[in-house]
Structure 1
Amino acid sequence: MGFTHTNSDTGIKDEDLKAVLEGEIPTYHEFNSSERTGDQNKEENKPHCVIIVVSADAVQNMQLNNDSVLTTKMKNLHSFIPSDVTRIVVLTKCDTISDLVHKSITNIYTCQTIYSVVQKATKIFGTQESMVFPIVNYFKEWRLDREKNVPILYALMFALNFAADRQELRP
């Protein structure tokens, strides 16, 4: 379940997203259910870290001054996230927007195209550049690729560290 390009009933609804981020939805809640039952301990249910996963080509093609449904949803997403919850953006499929990265994943942090998409993502999601992680997806590979793993594991490490920091701050 995620955002869609239309205002239809498919995808996550704004009110459900807000409820999750405020801790009003209990663990294991089924979103196709109309009832919200379970523990009402909002602090316990509140997320430690929000990871926004979005395709790099979707961000690259998004117009910042466009009022399309998807652009509006993406821009408003950061307003739903409480200020005390860390947000991380993972840009997937970076090899599809850059031939340089497609040739070698080691170019992911030096490629100008990727950097411009990272900057655009910071404006859309209201986060810092250091919180945007470009990665290349596994697609048809049968074996692990150390070069592909590094950016993925780097993003995961940051998410876990921020979640652990938040957990330590809780009373």
Structure 2
Amino acid sequence: MSDLLDLPVSTLQGEPTTLRELTGGGPALLVNVASRCGLTPQYTALEALHEEYAARGFTVIGLPCNQFMGQEPGSAEEIAEFCSATYGVTFPMTEKIEVNGADAHPVYQQLTATPDADGKAGDVAWNFEKFLLSGQGEVVARFRPQTLPDAPEVRAAIESVLPG
């Protein structure tokens, strides 16, 4: 799955890049985000994780998605302004993408093959589903939307992929 890191994505500002460039080659938590969702306050914990573990090579990456009841309707500029002004987000964000269906981004075509703790793979259930990648691009864990970013099982999984 290391090719996952080399799949092309664009930043929220429209700059072409890859997950490898966004992560700097370290482990990352990929999260499909939305600005108008009941789970949007998870941005606070995601930013805290990003800040806490950044010195150890860890990155949170937000991937805005408007597939769930239109809860990410804004333009790239509106999304960036909302995340910065409301939640102080400093972690990288990609352009708005689709995570399910025929037009799912290639990143999510690979991610959704990974089962969660209950052994269930397949479509992303809702906004704020989380996928943990090792620095080698292996998907090591999948957490459903209701699992908080700072839940003990998420922290333990992050700790397990951080360099010693």
Task: Determine which structure has the larger helix proportion and give its number.
Answer: 1
Using CA pairs below 8 Å that are at least 6 residues apart, which structure has the higher relative contact order?
2
Larger radius of gyration: 1
Normalised to the residue count of structure 2, the TM-score between the two structures is: 0.35
Task: Determine which structure has the larger strand proportion and give its number.
Answer: 2
Normalised to the residue count of structure 1, the TM-score between the two structures is: 0.34
